Amino acid sequence: MRIRRHPSSPAVSIRELQYQIQTQDSQPQNILEEIVWHKEKEVDRFRDQTPLSDLQQQVAKLSPPQDFLAALRQGKTTPALIAEVKKASPSKGQFRDTFHPEEIAQAYERAGASCLSVLTDQKFFQGGFEILSQVRESVQIPLLCKDFVLYPYQIYKARAHGADAVLLIAAVLSNQDLAYFMKIIKALGMTALVEVHTLEELDRVISIPGVDLVGINNRDLETFHVDLAVTCSLIDARVNPLRDRGILVVSESGIHGPQDVAAVAQAGAQAILVGESLIKQESDESHFASELERMQTKIDRLFNRPAGNL
Ligand SMILES: O=P(O)(O)OC[C@@H](O)[C@@H](O)c1c[nH]c2ccccc12
Is the pLDDT at 16 greater than 60? The verdict is no
pLDDT-based confidence at 23, cuts 50/70/90? low
275 CA from centroid of ligand 1 (Å): 7
* Alpha carbon separation from 284 to 6, 22, 288 (Å, rounded): 45, 50, 9
∠ CA 225-132-286, rounded to 5°: 65
Is the pLDDT confidence value at 182 over 90?
yes
Lowest mean pLDDT segment, chosen from 14-23, 61-70, 188-197, 199-208? 14-23
Q: Is the pLDDT of residue 12 over 90?
A: no
Ligand 1 binding pocket mutation candidate from 193, 253, 256 (most atoms within 8 A of CB): 253
Within 13 Å, how many C-alpha atoms sit on residue 95's CB side?
Answer: 21
State which H helix or E strand residue 283 sits in.
none
Please say if the pLDDT value at position 272 is more than 90: yes
Q: Most confidently modeled of 1-10, 28-37, 277-286?
A: 28-37
Ligand 1 site residues, Cβ closer than 6 angstroms: 84, 86, 146, 195, 217, 252-255, 273-277
Cα 162 to ligand 1 centre (Å): 20
Distance, CA 143 to ligand 1 centroid (Å)? 15
The answer to whether residue 9 scores a pLDDT higher than 80 is no
Q: What's the pLDDT score for residue 60?
A: 97
CA angle 130, 131, 136 (to 5 degrees): 100
Mean pLDDT, to the nearest integer, of 270-280? 97
* pLDDT single digits (tens) 98-134: 999 999 999 999 999 999 999 999 999 999 999 999 9
Identify the pLDDT of residue 7: 77
Phi, psi (deg, nearest 5) at residue 232: -65, -45
Q: For residue 203, what pLDDT is reported? A: 98
Task: Give residue 4's pLDDT.
Answer: 82
Q: Which atom of ligand 1 is nearest to the CA of 277?
A: 4
ipTM here: 0.99
Cα–Cα distance measured from residue 271 to residue 215, given in angstroms and rounded to the nearest whole number: 9
Kindly state the average pLDDT of the residues 170-190. Answer: 98
**How far does CA 281 lie from the centroid of its chain?**
21
